[in-house]
Structure 1
Amino acid sequence: MQQKTPWLTSDILNRLNANTCLLLVRSLWEYCPEHMFIVRVEGPGEFVIEAMNSTRQALSAENSAVIGKRIEQSLPPPLCHGVLANLCRCVESGAPVRYEENDDYLDRDGIYQHVHRQTLLVPITNTEGMVTHLFGISRDLAFPPEHHVLSPAVTGELERRVSERTAELVAANEKLAYLATHDHLTGTYNRRYLMELAEQELRRATRYELPLCLLMLDIDHFKTLNDARGHLVGDEALRCVARTILATVRECDLVGRYGGDEFLILMPETTASGAQELAERLRNTLTQTSRLTLSIGIASLAPGDDVVIDLIDRADTLLLQAKRNGRNRIECAA
Structure 2
Amino acid sequence: MQNLPWMTTDVLSRLSANAGILLIRSLWEYCPEQMFIVRVEGPGNYVIEAMNPTQQTMFGDERSCIGKRIDQLFPSPLCQGVIANLARCVESASPIRYEERSSYLDRHGDYREGHWQTLLVPITDQGGQVTHLFGVSRELLPVASPFGTSRPDNPELERRVMERTAELVAANQKLAILATRDHLTETYNRRHLLELADIELRRAFRYNLSLCLMMLDIDHFKEINDTCGHQAGDRAIRILARTLMATVRECDLVGRYGGDEFLILMPETTPEGAREIAERVRRTLEQSGQITVSIGIASLEPDDRFIDDPIHRADTMLLQAKRNGRNRIECPA
Per the normalisation by structure 1, the TM-score is 0.55
Aligned position for 1:326 = 325
Please show how residues 235-254 of structure 1 align to structure 2 within 5 Å: 235-254=234-253
1:168-217 deviation per Cα after TM superposition (whole angstroms, max 9, x unaligned)? 11111121022111111111111111111111111221222221111000
Distance in 2 separating the partners of 1:230 and 1:21: 48
Q: How many pairs does the alignment contain? A: 204
Percent sequence identity over matched residues? 65
Check if 1:185 corresponds to 2:196: no
Q: What's the offset of the Cα at 1:241?
A: 0.8
The one-letter code sitting in structure 2 at the alignment partner of 1:240 is I
| Bigger Rg over Cα | 1
Q: What's the offset of the Cα at 1:20?
A: 2.8
The one-letter code sitting in structure 2 at the alignment partner of 1:297 is G
Mark the CA change 1:290 to 1:160 in structure 2 (over 3 Å): closer, same or farther: farther
Distance in 2 separating the partners of 1:23 and 1:313: 39
1:222-279 deviation per Cα after TM superposition (whole angstroms, max 9, x unaligned)? 1111122122221121111111111111121111111111100111111111000000
What value does the CA root-mean-square deviation take over the aligned residues? 3.0
Aligned position for 1:160 = 159
Aligned position for 2:89 = none
The one-letter code sitting in structure 2 at the alignment partner of 1:299 is A
Q: What's the offset of the Cα at 1:17?
A: 5.2
Aligned position for 2:32 = 21
For the residue of structure 1 that corresponds to 2:214, the secondary structure is: strand
Aligned position for 2:263 = 264
1:86-114 deviation per Cα after TM superposition (whole angstroms, max 9, x unaligned)? xxxxxxx9999xxxxxxxxxxxxxxxxxx
Maintained 8 Å contact 1:217/1:295 = yes
Maintained 8 Å contact 1:212/1:300 = yes
For the residue of structure 2 that corresponds to 1:263, the secondary structure is: strand
The one-letter code sitting in structure 1 at the alignment partner of 2:241 is A
Please show how residues 104-123 of structure 1 align to structure 2 within 5 Å: none
Maintained 8 Å contact 1:20/1:173 = no
Mark the CA change 1:300 to 1:140 in structure 2 (over 3 Å): closer, same or farther: closer
1:97-141 deviation per Cα after TM superposition (whole angstroms, max 9, x unaligned)? xxxxxxxxxxxxxxxxxxxxxxxxxxxxxxxxxxxxxxx999895
Please show how residues 97-136 of structure 1 align to structure 2 within 5 Å: none
Mark the CA change 1:305 to 1:139 in structure 2 (over 3 Å): closer, same or farther: closer
Distance in 2 separating the partners of 1:23 and 1:267: 32
Check if 1:294 corresponds to 2:293: yes
The one-letter code sitting in structure 1 at the alignment partner of 2:239 is C
The one-letter code sitting in structure 2 at the alignment partner of 1:287 is E
Aligned position for 1:55 = none
1:30-49 deviation per Cα after TM superposition (whole angstroms, max 9, x unaligned)? xxxxxxxxxxxxxxxxxxxx
Distance in 2 separating the partners of 1:139 and 1:210: 53
Aligned position for 1:121 = none
Maintained 8 Å contact 1:257/1:264 = yes
Please show how residues 1-334 of structure 1 align to structure 2 within 5 Å: 19-21=30-32, 155-334=154-333
Gaps of 5+ in 2: 1-26, 36-109, 114-140
Aligned position for 1:29 = none
Mark the CA change 1:95 to 1:312 in structure 2 (over 3 Å): closer, same or farther: closer
For the residue of structure 2 that corresponds to 1:189, the secondary structure is: coil
Q: What's the offset of the Cα at 1:156?
A: 4.1
Per the normalisation by structure 2, the TM-score is 0.55
Mark the CA change 1:228 to 1:23 in structure 2 (over 3 Å): closer, same or farther: same
Mark the CA change 1:137 to 1:239 in structure 2 (over 3 Å): closer, same or farther: same
Maintained 8 Å contact 1:286/1:293 = yes
